[in-house]
């Protein structure tokens, strides 16, 4: 990345074919952004200009800035593909209050799932002017991806089970590595940003032998730290944690079992995987400032002018598998909903299918109001900005949102195979 002058952030991004080595002596053909999974780091108030080159042979792509408040025509929507071999400049401003852990990935309709599992995903950190989290905690990015390798080292094509459930790999990687080791001193606190960049794996996570404070979600910091013992990170979700390593020995980030409504054979092993090991030394860390009790103010969204209802369903007619929103499959020449800039809306997302669907909206951050399942209503324990929310099978989730910029925005299931198979719609904000 080249930051040329104060406030203007310019970078080049290329999607290309390459080789990666995941297993001894085997080369795996992959797709990469700038040779890996880059981390772009910019600041609130910056003007961003990213010149992008699609070097993927034979396939269009786009770069979608997941969760970011960018103009609709700069957001890498499926309606704006960048042809193989072409270049495109994405330009946008980062407004005040936009500091958060975002990510970016391709969004060409019908090819999103494949391009992401082949390796295309990157991180976009927007830093605030004044960060309430002490710098002594560092800032560590943990991006989860999901790898499946054939005997010859290649990535197998997706099968019917993958299309139905979303493709789940055999190895969860953290920043491209299996179970990497973090060296920490006793008493150290670390700021960890976790990104679920897998196509379809639900990560219910805990930290053994360390204490976790949740400090942020998809759309940045929450109002005050919340102690958590475990949490669910559905596909595309992010959290920020402050982890305290107070006991010497090994602290492990591990997976717990999660029932996401698997269909058919081959239910993947979910529980008991160690994703990251922190080796905590006997030597005590120098003392660091405490975590502030107050991180931010989040004004509640209120008084919705309209209510929209979205029913998520599946239909499995013979070989034809369809994932639908309000009975319709995605059509990029159709506008499904029409809205107004600045209007607060209540969205009611009802999952009438047999498996979980993580629901995502482009261009904005929303607030979860409540979840209803089997007549039981659950309110979120803290206020937070989110761009993706898991809607469990049989559950209804109500969210409040507002689009501050005009244009066409997508909303969809973030199991990328479901998105490609039609579980996506378009809202035109006028």
Residue 409 sits in the site that holds ligand C2O (CB under 6 A): no
**Closer residue to ligand C2O in complex, CB, 9/103:** 103
Q: What is the DSSP letter of 153?
A: S
- How far separated are the first and last CA of the chain, in Å rounded? 34
β-partners of residue 398 are 348, 370
Distance, CA of 355 to CA of 321 (rounded, Å): 14
**Closer residue to ligand C2O in complex, CB, 225/422:** 422
Residue 260 phi, psi (nearest 5): -105, 10
User: Binders of ligand C2O: how many residues, by CB under 6 A?
Assistant: 10
| Whole-Å CA distances, 241 to 68, 193, 225, 235 | 20, 6, 9, 18
Distance, CA of 35 to CA of 120 (rounded, Å): 10
Contact with Cu ion (CB under 5 A) among 204, 296, 362, 398? 362
Residues 6 or more apart whose CB falls under 8 angstroms from that of 164 comprise: 263, 264, 316, 321, 417
Least Å distance between CB 44 and ligand C2O?
21
Residue 238 sits in the site that holds ligand C2O (CB under 6 A): no
Residue 116 sits in the site that holds ligand C2O (CB under 6 A): no
Residue 360 sits in the site that holds ligand C2O (CB under 6 A): yes
Q: Token pair for residue 99? A: 């500091």
Residue 109 sits in the site that holds ligand C2O (CB under 6 A): no
**Closer residue to ligand C2O in complex, CB, 66/193:** 66
412 binds, among ligand C2O, Cu ion, none (CB under 5 to 8 A by kind): ligand C2O
413 binds, among ligand C2O, Cu ion, none (CB under 5 to 8 A by kind): Cu ion
Please spell the DSSP secondary structure of 343-355, one letter per residue. Answer: -EEEEEEEE-SSS
**Closer residue to Cu ion in complex, CB, 66/296:** 66
Helix (H) or strand (E) holding 160: helix 160-165
Residues 6 or more apart whose CB falls under 8 angstroms from that of 317 comprise: none
- Residue span binding ligand C2O (CB under 6 A) among the ranges 9-17, 178-186, 363-371, 406-414: 406-414
Site string for Cu ion, 66-85 (x = CB under 5 A): x-------------------
Distance, CA of 380 to CA of 370 (rounded, Å): 6
- Residue span binding ligand C2O (CB under 6 A) among the ranges 131-139, 193-201, 296-304, 410-418: 410-418
- Residue span binding Cu ion (CB under 5 A) among the ranges 14-22, 174-182, 188-196, 360-368: 360-368
Distance, CA of 202 to CA of 270 (rounded, Å): 8
**Closer residue to ligand C2O in complex, CB, 207/411:** 411
Q: Are strands 344-351 and 230-233 parallel, antiparallel or unpaired?
A: unpaired
Residue 418 sits in the site that holds Cu ion (CB under 5 A): yes
Residue 260 sits in the site that holds ligand C2O (CB under 6 A): no
88 binds, among ligand C2O, Cu ion, none (CB under 5 to 8 A by kind): none
Contact with ligand C2O (CB under 6 A) among 28, 52, 60, 64? 64
Please name the residue ranges forming H helices in 69-141: 112-117
| 3-class state of residue 97 by DSSP | coil
Count CB atoms within 10 A of the CB of residue 218: 25
Residue 234 sits in the site that holds ligand C2O (CB under 6 A): no
Least Å distance between CB 362 and Cu ion?
5
Report which residue's Cβ sits closest to ligand C2O.
66
Measured CA angle at 312 (ends 395, 124), to 5 deg: 90
| 3-class state of residue 304 by DSSP | coil
Q: Are strands 274-284 and 337-339 parallel, antiparallel or unpaired?
A: unpaired
Distance, CA of 176 to CA of 146 (rounded, Å): 9
**Closer residue to ligand C2O in complex, CB, 198/255:** 198
Helix (H) or strand (E) holding 253: strand 249-256
**Closer residue to Cu ion in complex, CB, 105/118:** 105
Residue 236 sits in the site that holds ligand C2O (CB under 6 A): yes
Residue 410 sits in the site that holds ligand C2O (CB under 6 A): yes
Residue 66 sits in the site that holds ligand C2O (CB under 6 A): yes
Residue 412 sits in the site that holds ligand C2O (CB under 6 A): yes
Scanning residues 22 to 41, which ones bind ligand C2O (CB under 6 A)?
none
Measured CA angle at 428 (ends 409, 68), to 5 deg: 25
Residue 418 sits in the site that holds ligand C2O (CB under 6 A): no
Least Å distance between CB 26 and ligand C2O?
30
Residue 415 sits in the site that holds Cu ion (CB under 5 A): yes
Q: Which residues bind ligand C2O (CB under 6 A)?
A: 64, 66, 105, 107, 236, 360, 362, 410, 412, 414
């Amino acid at each position: 990345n080249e930051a040329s002058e104060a406030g203007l952030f310019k970078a080049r991004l290329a999607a290309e074919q390459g080789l990666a080595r995941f297993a001894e002596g085997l080369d795996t053909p992959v797709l990469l952004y700038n040779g890996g999974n880059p981390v772009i780091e910019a600041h609130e108030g910056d003007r961003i200009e990213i010149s992008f080159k699609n070097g993927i042979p034979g396939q269009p792509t786009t770069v979608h800035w997941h969760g970011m408040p960018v103009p609709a025509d700069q957001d890498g929507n499926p309606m704006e593909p960048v042809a193989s071999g072409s270049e495109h400049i994405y330009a946008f401003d980062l407004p005040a209050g936009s500091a958060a852990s975002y990510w970016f990935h391709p969004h060409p309709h019908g090819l999103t799932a494949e391009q992401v599992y082949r390796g295309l995903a990157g991180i976009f950190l927007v830093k605030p002017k004044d960060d309430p989290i002490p710098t002594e905690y560092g800032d560590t990015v943990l991006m989860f991806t999901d790898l499946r390798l054939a005997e010859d080292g290649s990535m197998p094509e997706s099968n019917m089970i993958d299309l139905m459930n979303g493709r789940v790999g055999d190895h969860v990687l953290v920043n491209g590595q299996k179970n990497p080791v973090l060296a920490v001193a006793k008493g150290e606190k670390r700021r960890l940003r976790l990104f679920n960049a897998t196509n379809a794996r639900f990560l219910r996570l805990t930290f053994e032998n360390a204490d976790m404070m949740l400090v942020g979600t998809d759309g940045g910091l929450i109002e005050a730290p919340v102690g958590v013992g475990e949490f669910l990170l559905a596909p595309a979700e992010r959290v920020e944690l402050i982890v305290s390593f107070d006991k010497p020995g090994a602290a492990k980030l591990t997976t717990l079992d999660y029932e996401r409504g698997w269909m058919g054979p081959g239910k993947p092993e979910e529980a008991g995987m160690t994703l990251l090991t922190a080796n905590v030394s006997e030597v005590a860390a120098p003392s660091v400032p405490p975590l502030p009790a107050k991180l931010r103010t989040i004004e509640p969204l209120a008084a919705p002018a309209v209510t929209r209802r979205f029913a998520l369903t599946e239909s499995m007619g013979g070989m034809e598998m369809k994932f639908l929103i309000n009975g319709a499959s995605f059509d990029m020449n159709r506008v499904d909903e029409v809205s107004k800039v600045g209007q607060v809306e209540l969205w009611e997302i009802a999952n009438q299918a047999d498996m979980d669907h993580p629901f995502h909206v482009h261009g904005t951050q929303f607030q979860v109001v409540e979840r209803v399942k089997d007549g039981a209503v659950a309110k979120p324990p803290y206020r937070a900005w989110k761009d993706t929310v898991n809607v469990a099978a049989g559950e209804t989730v109500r969210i409040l949102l507002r689009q501050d910029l005009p244009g066409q925005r997508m909303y969809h299931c973030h199991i990328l195979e479901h998105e490609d198979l039609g579980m996506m719609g378009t809202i035109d904000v006028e």
